[in-house]
Structure 1
Amino acid sequence: MKKLKIALLHLLPIAGDIEYNRTLIEKAVQLAASKQADWIITPELAVSGLQFSHKIGTDWIKVQPDEWMTHFFDLVKSLQTNVFLGCPEKSADGELYNSVFVINRKGELIGRQRKVSSVTDTWSSSGTVIEPFDVEGIKAGIMICADAYTNNVADILLAKEAEILVAPSAWGPGLHEPAGEWEQRSIDTGLPVIVCNRTGEDKTVTFWGAKSLVIKNGEHLLSHTSVQSAILTFDWDMESMELLSSQFEVDDLSD
């Protein structure tokens, strides 16, 4: 049995407050690692918050790894875990992307997925490469929020032998709320979908009722909403593709 302990960081980032969000992420990662989490997953754009550009613009976005990201790599190495981190980035040619960085236990960047469906992200370009990442022998595919809206990204990941789909998201109830997209992607591919969502609110979007989920065959195996940051830990058997936990182990993350 290959048991995987996964921690979802169901956070309340503040749009545009980069220092606050970085500190929150570091604190959450340290606590999740203390619970022996093998994978730690943040929401989409955990470093910046979703609607940050109207507050601080985009000039601060750097080519990665920047100074803080390098520090974060060292932190992950010291904690001996794997992290999926949502953070904006600038490419070498100056394009901006909504990205998820995959960092292994050695503190090495083993890959980045750039959001493909960037229609609503007016500051970012669309990613063009869709590849699963080998995380300690497990092929993880990443769908960033609206990348799950159609079957395009999930189908490509399945064709490239992804074994599990990770969905870092900032997708709450209200206008254009989730309406079965994650569930359908799990049915389409036959793969489990792990949704790490968030709480709080930004300029025009609220996330108080946003759900972090573990989904298999279209069914919610685990679900969580909260009005404060929380760490959600569960165990998954990669051989039988079965949930080993009866519920999320929830740790509230107070300031």
Structure 2
Amino acid sequence: MNSVRVVCHQLAPRIGDAEYNRTLSAEAIRSAAALGAQVVVLPELTQSGYVFTDTQEALRVSEPLDGPTLTLWKTLANSLNIIVVAGFCERLTATQVANSAALIEPHGRLTVYRKAHLWDRETLIFTPGTEPPPVVDTAVGRIAVMICYDLELPEWVRLAALAGADLLCAPVNWPDGPRPAGERPAEIVRVQANAAVNRLFIAACDRHGEERGVNWVGGSVIVDADGYPLAGAVSHQQEQRLVADLPLAHARDKFISAHNHVHQDRRPQLY
């Protein structure tokens, strides 16, 4: 398995402006393809923006799976031969929306993941997902998808790792908050830890741009299977495009010493 070029493009979607956000996402996908990327990851709720006042506002900008945004992303994935992973506000019913992420392959296969672990006021707006993170056997490797706060539940990341994921792609919106002077955002540290304990590559794409009083970490990061950053891993509250070439085969070697294997050493009967 050769190296796979992955791009995380940190963007600033506009709340409730799907047309603007489609244009923004299309430009990001095209720019990633121009860099030779085989996978591009965009932020959580790229299609819609994040800070909704209520479910009704989210419903107005939500889209079904055959809506204009996913239709556009499918067209771009096919014409540019690139895998697209991006967040959108999914219309489930006339009264329900999900915080979802699409994984779109060039040949058209669509995999949708609905965020299972909702953060803060998301619980007042979105219907939580009920399925584990998907692990998709793509042309470039086995890719798992989850969203933002999901990454803070180690059991959830472990599920994807045990299911054979080489690369975990995570659209995120990390709200910025206080931290001790000189410390990096804890969200980035947790991504590194999850990668290391599972020997799994992770690409987490954050956003930037103040939205209704909320600022963001701007902490997009791509880490290797030892948990070390290959790109990003700092708070950068501007647009940024991270590029990394990932030797995904390394994620299939779970040995960390001659006698230690990060999955076989587990003793779940004791937990």
Aligned AA (2:27): K
Does the residue aligned with 1:214 lie in a helix, a strand or coil?
strand
What does residue 79 of structure 2 align with? 78
What does residue 234 of structure 1 align with? 244
> Would you tell me which structure has more strand in proportion to its own residues?
1
Root-mean-square deviation over aligned CA pairs: 2.4
2:138 paired residue among 130, 135, 154: 135
Aligned AA (1:197): D
- Matches of residues 94-173 of structure 1 in structure 2 within 5 Å? 95-106=96-107, 108-120=108-120, 121=122, 122-130=124-132, 131-173=134-176
Q: Which of the pair has more CA radius of gyration?
A: 2
- Is this contact kept in 2: 1:15–1:49, CA < 8 A? yes
Post-superposition Cα deviations, 1:136-164, rounded to whole Å, max 9, x if no partner, equal: 15111122100011212111111211112
What does residue 39 of structure 1 align with? 39
- Is this contact kept in 2: 1:150–1:181, CA < 8 A? no
- Matches of residues 152-231 of structure 1 in structure 2 within 5 Å? 152-174=155-177, 178-179=186-187, 180-207=189-216, 209-216=217-224, 217-223=226-232, 225-231=235-241
Does the residue aligned with 1:70 lie in a helix, a strand or coil?
helix
Cα separation, 1, equivalents of 2:95 and 2:109:
20
Change (3 A) 1:45 1:13: same
Does the residue aligned with 1:59 lie in a helix, a strand or coil?
helix
- Is this contact kept in 2: 1:16–1:53, CA < 8 A? no
Structure 2 portions without partners, runs of 5+? 180-184, 252-271
**Scaled by the length of structure 1, what TM-score is found?**
0.84
The number of aligned residues is 240
- Is this contact kept in 1: 2:3–2:246, CA < 8 A? yes
Change (3 A) 1:237 1:202: same
Structure 1 portions without partners, runs of 5+? 242-255
Identity of aligned residues (%): 24
